[in-house]
Structure 1
Amino acid sequence: MAEHPAYPVGLRLSGRHVVVLGGGQVAQRRLPALIAAGADIVLVSPEATPSVEAMAEAGEITWQQRSYTEGDLAEAWYALIATNDPGANAQASAEAERHRVWCVRSDDADRATAWTPATGHSEGVTVAVLTTEARGRDPRHTAAIRDAVVAGLRDGTLVAPHHRTRTPGVALVGGGPGDPDLITVRGRRLLAEADVVIADRLGPRDLLAELPPHVEVIDAAKIPYGRYMAQEAINNALIEHAKQGKSVVRLKGGDPFVFGRGMEEVRALAEAGIPCTVVPGISSSISVPGAAGIPVTHRGVAHEFTVVSGHVAPDDERSLVDWPSLARLTGTLVILMGVDKIGKIAETLVAHGRSPKTPVALVQEGTTAAQRRVDATLATVADAVRDEDVRPPAVIVIGEVVRVGPGPAA
C-alpha cells in the first residue's frame, strides 16, 4: 500500500456506527469532529480523560468502560484505534480488515486503512490536507499548510471567487477598537468579499488600504462636532447599494450595538427588505482598558463594571443616565465619548458620594500605535485633560482597578 497515494474522500457518518478504542488524548482531539458529523459513537476504553468523560456524561458518546474485545468492530462503518496497548491495536486493526471497516491507527499509520487529514473550517468550507505517501509523513507540515489556507480564507488574503449568485445584502461589521488585528475573523472575511464599504472614522482604517481597487469605499466621516454624514444618508446609501445587487459592508468601530447606532441601520434595512448580517466586534469599553493594563474587574477590587455614554453632560436634559446611582456603585465605571464632559461628570460623581481621590485613567487611541494613558483622580481629571491635551477617541476608566495593574509606561 505504501507505493500508492491515499485516495481522499469525505465520509458521511451521520447516524452511522463508529467505534473509538482508547479514551486518551488522541480520542479527546478526534471525538469532537465525529460528534459534529452526527456519528453514533461507541467508546471502548477502561479509562478516559476528564474531557472525554464529560462527552459521555453529556450523552454525546456511549462509553463502554472496558478493554477491547474481538467483535467490537463487527458492525462499525469507521473505527479509530488509539489505545496504549500495541497488541490490542494490532488485533483490532486485523478485525477491521476482515470486516472491511475503514480504520485509523494512532500508533502505526502505515498499517492503517485510513488516515485522518489535518482539517480546518471557514464559512461552510472544510479544508483537509493529507500527505499522499506513507513514507516521510510529516503531520506538522500538513497542519501548517492547513493553518495557512484556513487563515487566508478567514482574513481575506486568500480569496476564492464565488461562482454561484450571491444574495445581495449588508453586513454590519464591528471593526474592534482600532488595531486591525482585532477585527473578528468573520468580519475580515466579509470585508475582503465586499463590493462597497461604508466606514466610520473609528473603524480600523488600515484594513481599508488592503481592499482591492474595485471596492468602493464611502467615508461616513462621523467626526464628533465636525463634518458628518447624517444617519439617514448612511441608511439610504446602504439600501441603495444593496438594491443594486452589491455586497455591502458597514464597517463600524468597536461593536455595532455599543453606542454605535447599529440597530437604527438594522431597522432601516429591514423596512426596505434588505437582508442584514450582524457581526459583533470587540468593544473598546473592555479592550482599550485591557490594552492599557487595566482590568475592568478584579478579584477583591471590583465585581461589576458599568459602561456609560458621556456624550451629553449629567445636567443636560437629554441625558438618560442615573448619575447619582452610578456614584453609589463600588465597581468600575467606563465612560465612552466623554472627554470634553469629564469635568462635569467628575463633579457630579463626587457630589453624589464618590471620593474625589478615586483613580481615573484616560486611554487615548487605545490599541493603536498612538495609544497613550493619562492617570488622574476625580478631583484632578479635568485639569489633566486640559494639561495633557487628551483628545477623542479616548476611553475613561474610573475606579480602584486603575491601580491594580503596573500603571502607565514611564
Structure 2
Amino acid sequence: MTESLHTVTTMPTARHSGCPFDPPKELIEAREHGPISRFPFPDGHQGWLVTGYDLVRAVLADPRFSSRKELMRHHPLIDYGDIEVPPAPPGEFLLMDEPRHGRYRRPLVGKFTVRRMRLLTERVEQITADHLDAMEKAGPQVDLVTAFAKPIPAIVICELLGVPYEDRGFFQENIDKFLGGEVGDEELIAAYTATQNYLAELVAAKRANPTDDVLSDLLDSNLTDEELQGMALILLSAGFDTTANMLALGTFALLRNPEQLAALRADPTLTDRAVEELLRYLSVAKQFYRVALEDVELGGQTIRAGTTVILSLNTADRDPERFADPHVLDLRRQDGGHLAFGHGIHQCLGQQLARVEMRVAFPALLNRFPTLRLAVPAEEVALRPETADIYGVKSLPVTWDA
C-alpha cells in the first residue's frame, strides 16, 4: 500500500443546486486522487470506493466479485450492526451470482432483443403522442415528471408484462414509494408488500388465462410462481424507474444546455448519439456494490476476500482518462462506451427498451413544444433525495408559448 492512497471517510451525497447533473464534488475529487480509494463503512468494515472507468468496468466483469444480497452487509450511510441479510428472494436475479442468476436471466434474454424492442417503436410513439396531446390540452404549464416522464415507461412496461391498464397507477405509486427514497420504513415496506401481493395474484391469473405478454410467455418454463413473481418485480421496477428519471432529468439537462438542445432540434440524426451522451452524462444509476469472494489485485491494491467495493458509475462515466471533456454535455461526442447500463453478466436486460423510449420521447417532446422551457428558476427544481437508488428530479415544472 502507498502512503498517498486516498481515503473517502463518508459517502458524499450533496449536489450543487446550480449544476445538479454533476456527481458530488467529493467523488470527483476522489477520482482526481486516483481510480480507487479506501472507504471505511459506518460499521467499521474497511472497504473500497472505485471511481475510475477502467477499474469499475473490470470489477463488473470479474466473477471474483459477487452481487449476492446476503454478502452485502455494509451500507455507506447506515450502520446495521450485526443484522444478518437474507439471500435475495426467488426470481430477484440482480442480487445473485451464477448459476442462480442465469437461471432467471436466460429465459428473458430473447424477450428484450434489439429487434423485438424496435418492433415496439410504433406503440411507444403512440403512447408518447397521447401524452403530448394531453400536455398541450392542459398547458401551457405542467409538471413534466407526472405528465410525461413517468406515465410513458409505466404504460410500456406494464403492457409488456401483461399488467391491466387500469392497474398501472397502482404500480407507479408503489414503485415510487419503495425506490424513491422519500418515505419512512413503514410506508416503504407497505408499498413493497402491496406490490408483491399484487404480483402473486397476477401470476396466478396468467396461469389460469395466459395472454400475449412476457409474463405469460414464461409460463412454459420450469419457473415456479414465486420465481415469476420475483422476476416481474425486477422488470417492473427497473423498466419504469430508471427510464422515467432519464426522461425528466435528461430534459432538464437539455434545457440547461440550450446550444445542445438547438443542435438536437436541428438535426434529428443526432438522436441516437444524444441518448447515449445523456446516459453517460447523467448516469442515474449512481453506484453498484460488489463483494470480493477471494483476494483480488485491483488498481495496485489487494482487495481481501469478504471486502465490500462501491462502484461509482457516475464518476466512471466522467473519467477524463476515458472521455474528453467529461463534464461537458456534447451530443456529438464520439467516445462512447459508457457504463450507465452496467457491464458484464448483470448489464441491464432492458437497455434496448430504454433506448427506444428515449429515442422516441425526447425528439417528440422537443418538436411538439419548440419553446419549451423551465417554469421556475433551475435552482428551484426539486431533486430526488440522494438516498434514492436512482437519481432524478421529483418534479420539473415546464412551460411553453401557447
TM-score bucket of the superposed structures, by smaller chain: under 0.3
TM-score by length of 1: 0.23
Would you tell me which structure has more helix in proportion to its own residues? 2
TM-score by length of 2: 0.24
Would you tell me which structure has more strand in proportion to its own residues? 1
Greater CA radius of gyration, 1 or 2?
1
Higher RCO structure (Cα 8 Å, ≥6 apart): 2
